[in-house]
Chains A and B, each alone.
Chain A
Amino acid sequence: MRKSIILSLLCLPLGLAAQNPVVRNQFSADPTARVFNNKVYLYPSHDIPAPEGQRQDWFCMADYHVFSSANLTDWEDHGVIITQNNVPWVKPDSYAMWAPDCVCRDGKYYFYFPAAPKEGRGFDIGVATADQPEGPFVCEQEPIKGVMGIDPCVLVDDDGQSYIYWSGMGIRGARLKQNMKELESEGMVMEGLPEGFKEGPYAFKQGGWYYLTFPWVRVEKGTETLAYAMSRNPLGPWDFKGIIMAEHANGCWTNHHSITQYNGQWYLFYHHNDYSPSMDKHRSVCIDRLSFNADGTIMEVKPTLRGVGVNQATDQIEVDRYSTASEDVTIQYHDTLNTFRGWYAELPKKGSFLCYNDVDFSGVDDAYLTANVKANANTQLLIREKNEKGKVIAKIDIVCVSEGQYRRDQRGQWLHVTAPLQYVPKGVTDLCITCEGEDACVDWIQFKNRQSYFKPVGAQPSLPDANGFIRRWTLLEPIDKPNRSNTVFTDTYLREHFNKEYFAQQFTILPKDGQKVKAGKQTLTWHALESQAYNVKLFRFSEKLQKQMYGVLFWAVTTIDCPEEIKDVRLAVGSNSASMWWFNGEEVLLLSGDRRMVEDDGMSPRVTLKKGRNVLRGAIINGPGMSDFCVRFLDDKNNPVTNYTIINNK
């Protein structure tokens, strides 16, 4: 008991993704999903690889976890709620904690589970109770008397009467007492069900009908389907209606399920051995939508990889869980020894495609596409909206082999690639990936919003930030200034090249936003900007303007309005790479050599901030790095000077 409390406190938000299977770091089977407090709670059984001494090719289950989700996309594992050796009546190390159920009645949660009893043979069914759906659960001392079997399911009817169904010599049902822990009537075999092996009953009520649904082997030596019968009475007799889900295509012998309505949509929870292709006793819970015909009958559900739920475009979208695909598309494990690492999809030739439904673009702003892809030859994928002929959102060029200066051979390696967006869909839509060239593999795609580095300046003067850094600058688009990589900029070189005139009035101009200058063949524009970081990221300034980022020379000007004269301050600068600074027309600082931007790297001699307007001008030259600078004034005690404003040039 104590243990189960401790374990249930270990809530692990896993960020489990939307698609099938829904639990992606462990096996999970026999799902019962219930809606409590506007969330879906999932009570599966928990397949584990058999420990030594246990039968290796059989079901092996030692405990139960509970999971919850508010959107069917993100699932939280609340940890273990019951373990076999903590239940008074369960035979220790029997590893037979099979399919459970959980219902709520009068604010209490009743968890029903089968297990091998200490005394006797076969299975009994026990109850545990809790005040919260995720526990902690307290187990009864004894199993429910009069029930021999597995796969309990409890139906709490509208009139307050509860019924329990289980599987044991056929599917049986009985009335439960008000205490939910004892039978009120003897168990009876449910009448009207078809011949053939049946187990795992799940009963629910909808539109005046009682539904009894169950795994069923419809042909001799076949595997399980999911089937159902309907009745106007909770304990039958039943009218058999047919199949909800056909046999699993890969031969997985069992299926076991529950049917739940959430936010107006009905869902089928079931299982399949996705993570254990060679051993069907290790299963995983899947979800697909389920619909009714007008007469109350259930439409057959086709299992999908995609499952349910809406993906945010800004999250990684595991496209190997596609909703539809051309027939030649295959999925493969990343690691056959650790299948929980998931899959990737292969689009083998031009024209191959896969589609992924329900992606929400409402969070996409100034974004680009990133994807994890691999190929054995250079190829191209298109991301389209809606279907394989839809509007192109982005073009992914996979360049795994290239010649020339940056020769590379990354054939068969996973590559994180990016692509600009040609078009941004609105709201929730479907995506389709089409192969436009050679064979390509895709693991996931994601739409990423670009980080913002600058804001336009406001009309009002701004202040230095709390640490005295000046964030408002008028920056000139980069002047082309090729230089060799790994340059240690010498003072001689810098004096020559910083003092050279690139554009008219270079040392006197008070540039306005949008003003243009001519520098050699280049026509360059001044941009008045507010840096969002303490350091002014010139590299990102250039990148945003789609200008050259390396081998360039930047000019930066800012005007300071000081309410009173401040003597004996120093200009403190860090820059990447070398820079030169002029204060009120005088050169005050040169940072030379192999520079990176370091706060307070170089200091000017003591200068005076005049009352009124002061002009600070800098030139920054960049080699191979990401050019930026940080500038502030420090007083004679090395404290930042902040009592001035930074004004726009008009």
Chain B
Amino acid sequence: MEKFRNILAASALMVAASSSAQIGQPYIHDPSTLALCDGKYYTFGTGSGGLISEDGWSWKGGVVRPGGGAAPDVMKIGDRYLVIYGATGGGLGGGHSGRILTMWNKTLDPNSPDFKYTEPVEVAASDGLEDNDAIDPGLLLDPKTGRMWVSYGTYFGNIRLIELDPKTGERVKGNKPIDIAIDCEATDLIYRDGWYYLLGTHGTCCDGVNSTYNIVVGRSRKVTGPYVDNVGRDMFHGGGKMVIAAGDRVCGPGHFGRTVIDEGVEVMSCHYEADFNMNGRSVLGIRPLLWKNDWPVAGDRLKEGTYEITSERRGYSLELAVDFVRMAQERERFWEMDMTKPIKPIPDQTLQEVIGTWPTGEIGVRAGDYMFRPHQHWTITAVPEAGGYLSNPYFKITIDGTERALAATQDMELTTVPTFTGAPEQLWRIEQLVDGTFRIMPKQIPGQETLNTRYVIYSAGDSTPTLAEYDFKSDNSKWNLRCLRMK
């Protein structure tokens, strides 16, 4: 029976209608790190355009970048955006003679009157014969030193590191490139807690559903390397620890970008060479970014299903504040057990057995010992029409088998309403934190005018969930989602 259910769940997953990536028209190759401009998200891709999103979930074209070429990156510095891209190279027509250029814009919004790119400036180049192919730049503004670095290159030779002047976007005078990796491309540099990380894309691109692209990482205490993987291998010797590979009906992740949403809330952007749910097209992917032992690893996309939601504080489970209904059991005292009696399973308590004991109006919410009872099982379902945020759509959280929905109240508490109505206080933003736990926040709190980005379900006491300000340093802000059944 258990086995049978697994098979059912698996086949349900295979026919999942929703896209594995973002929604809208998220078609892109070689996306830049995400940039935020006037409340909208932007990512630049190969070619002249890129994608825009109002909410971080639904994407469409409309980004404008002159110069064509490949694989740009973008970063906000002060009140301007620095865009960097490879004009030629990458084995495209022009062979491996490439040029990397930077240019500035006050805005990324093509409809803004301030939208105007400065003249592009060459910051690096490869002549086509040397061990380098000057495309695929990735920007790092070192938060420790204020210095700016670019990694670039492809399989044709070495990945190189150069320094730019963050005030001008030009190459620091006299700066000589340093070779930091081989046998990868589409690199990016990030800094976190005293470590510099070099993310490289390994494998092969541009072969649709057979593309083997995957993202690996090495790290160094110095921005100039050596970047070493988890078994001590230098990326200059091909080393690298996997961050994300194929899975979940997408393959060929490449072109890493890290976006920090909040303390402990990070996502990585990439493209998938092929989304098996979308004709095998190349699409934008946004996934939670987790950190394990100071190594980055992609989290999974949150899937619809039925979950136990337990607090990181005590391990108690989120439940309806209803009477505990004892289950009947034919008891056998252990010294009187009849060894000839057949062994049979005791069925789970069912919703039907208990729902009649529940009130019909609003029911409060508390946390208690997890006993896998119906009042502790929450079904998480996407509400596509409600929009989303970086990485996911908004969800409704209902008691399994019912329409009873978790909701935020005006006085910053939790309740459940008998029927999900789509009201914003019944919509939930669920984000996986860097340690693998989740924060869960209502889209809006009744009486507040703006979207909520501060208050999360919070353990006021072990048994008392409430809404309070998110604090990554406190386990009160964190919840674990244990999947009982996928949709």
Interface of A with B (CB < 8 Å)?
A: 12-15, 25, 334-335, 337-338, 341, 368, 370, 372, 402, 406-408, 410, 413-418, 448, 450-451, 486, 488, 534-535, 574, 576, 593-594, 596-601, 624-626, 630
Known contacts A15-B174, A576-B183; is-contact A599 B129 (Cβ 8 Å): no
Q: Is the CB of A600 within 8 A of B233?
A: yes
Q: Is the CB of B125 within 8 A of A416?
A: yes
- Look across to chain B and name the residue whose beta carbon is closest to the beta carbon of A486: B207
Among B129, B131, B174, the residue within 8 A (CB) of A14 is B174
Q: Is the CB of B183 within 8 A of A418?
A: no
21 chain-A/chain-B pairs, Cβ below 8 angstroms: A338-B119, A370-B129, A372-B125, A406-B92, A406-B93, A410-B93, A415-B88, A416-B125, A416-B126, A416-B127, A418-B128, A486-B204, A486-B207, A486-B210, A488-B210, A488-B212, A534-B237, A574-B237, A597-B182, A599-B233, A630-B237
- 6 closest A-B pairs by beta carbon, nearest first, are A598-B238, A408-B93, A599-B237, A596-B183, A370-B127, A486-B207
Given contacts A488-B212, A600-B233, 12 further A-B contacts (CB under 8 A): A334-B119, A402-B93, A418-B97, A418-B127, A418-B129, A448-B127, A450-B129, A486-B211, A574-B237, A576-B183, A594-B203, A596-B238
- Look across to chain A and name the residue whose beta carbon is closest to the beta carbon of B211: A486
Say if the beta carbon of B155 comes within 8 Å of chain A: yes
Q: Is the CB of A25 within 8 A of B237?
A: no
Q: Is the CB of B157 within 8 A of A626?
A: yes
Say if the beta carbon of B202 comes within 8 Å of chain A: yes
Bound Cα distance from A233 to B238, whole angstroms: 75
Say if the beta carbon of B99 comes within 8 Å of chain A: yes
Bound Cα distance from A398 to B183, whole angstroms: 30
Q: Which residues of chain A come closer than 8 Å to B131, judged between CB atoms?
A: 451
Bound Cα distance from A296 to B365, whole angstroms: 103
Closest chain-B Cβ to A407's Cβ sits at a distance in Å of 7
Say if the beta carbon of B156 comes within 8 Å of chain A: yes
Bound Cα distance from A320 to B451, whole angstroms: 58
Bound Cα distance from A359 to B161, whole angstroms: 30
Say if the beta carbon of B3 comes within 8 Å of chain A: no
Q: Which residues of chain B come closer than 8 Å to A417, judged between CB atoms?
A: 97, 127-128
Q: Is the CB of B119 within 8 A of A598?
A: no
Q: Which residues of chain A come closer than 8 Å to B469, judged between CB atoms?
A: none
Bound Cα distance from A341 to B120, whole angstroms: 11
Bound Cα distance from A13 to B172, whole angstroms: 11
| B contacts with A: majority SS | loop
Known contacts A335-B119, A416-B127; is-contact A626 B155 (Cβ 8 Å): yes
Chain B 316-360 interface mask (CB, 8 Å, partner A; 1/0): 000000000000000000000000000000000000000000000
Closest chain-B Cβ to A537's Cβ sits at a distance in Å of 9
Bound Cα distance from A172 to B304, whole angstroms: 91
Bound Cα distance from A450 to B131, whole angstroms: 10
Bound Cα distance from A64 to B239, whole angstroms: 50
Say if the beta carbon of B122 comes within 8 Å of chain A: yes
Closest chain-B Cβ to A540's Cβ sits at a distance in Å of 8
Q: Which residues of chain B come closer than 8 Å to A594, judged between CB atoms?
A: 203-204, 212
Chain B 77-112 interface mask (CB, 8 Å, partner A; 1/0): 000000000011001111001110000000000000
- Look across to chain A and name the residue whose beta carbon is closest to the beta carbon of B91: A624
Bound Cα distance from A408 to B122, whole angstroms: 20
Considering only residues 203-231 of chain B, those with a C-beta below 8 Å from chain A are: 203-204, 206-207, 210-212
Chain B 161-182 interface mask (CB, 8 Å, partner A; 1/0): 0000000000001100000001
Closest chain-A Cβ to B47's Cβ sits at a distance in Å of 14
Q: Which residues of chain B come closer than 8 Å to A630, judged between CB atoms?
A: 237
Bound Cα distance from A598 to B236, whole angstroms: 9
Among A14, A407, A416, A625, the residue within 8 A (CB) of B99 is A416
Closest chain-B Cβ to A535's Cβ sits at a distance in Å of 8
- Look across to chain A and name the residue whose beta carbon is closest to the beta carbon of B234: A599
Q: Is the CB of A407 within 8 A of B93?
A: yes
Say if the beta carbon of B130 comes within 8 Å of chain A: yes
Determine which residue in B128, B155, B238 has the highest number of CB atoms from chain A within 10 A of its CB, and name it. Answer: B238
Closest chain-B Cβ to A339's Cβ sits at a distance in Å of 11
Q: Is the CB of B99 within 8 A of A414?
A: yes
Q: Is the CB of B206 within 8 A of A486?
A: yes
Bound Cα distance from A599 to B226, whole angstroms: 15
- Look across to chain A and name the residue whose beta carbon is closest to the beta carbon of B233: A599
Q: Which residues of chain A come closer than 8 Å to B94, judged between CB atoms?
A: 408, 410, 415
- Look across to chain B and name the residue whose beta carbon is closest to the beta carbon of A599: B237
Q: Is the CB of A416 within 8 A of B238?
A: no
Say if the beta carbon of B35 comes within 8 Å of chain A: no
Bound Cα distance from A448 to B128, whole angstroms: 12
Considering only residues 385-409 of chain B, those with a C-beta below 8 Å from chain A are: none
Say if the beta carbon of B265 comes within 8 Å of chain A: no
Say if the beta carbon of B121 comes within 8 Å of chain A: yes
Q: Is the CB of A12 within 8 A of B173?
A: yes
Q: Is the CB of A15 within 8 A of B173?
A: yes
Determine which residue in B91, B119, B240 has the highest number of CB atoms from chain A within 10 A of its CB, and name it. Answer: B119
Q: Is the CB of A341 within 8 A of B127?
A: no
Bound Cα distance from A596 to B240, whole angstroms: 12
Chain B 187-206 interface mask (CB, 8 Å, partner A; 1/0): 00000000000000011101
- Look across to chain B and name the residue whose beta carbon is closest to the beta carbon of A413: B87
Closest chain-B Cβ to A469's Cβ sits at a distance in Å of 10
Q: Which residues of chain B come closer than 8 Å to A406, judged between CB atoms?
A: 92-93
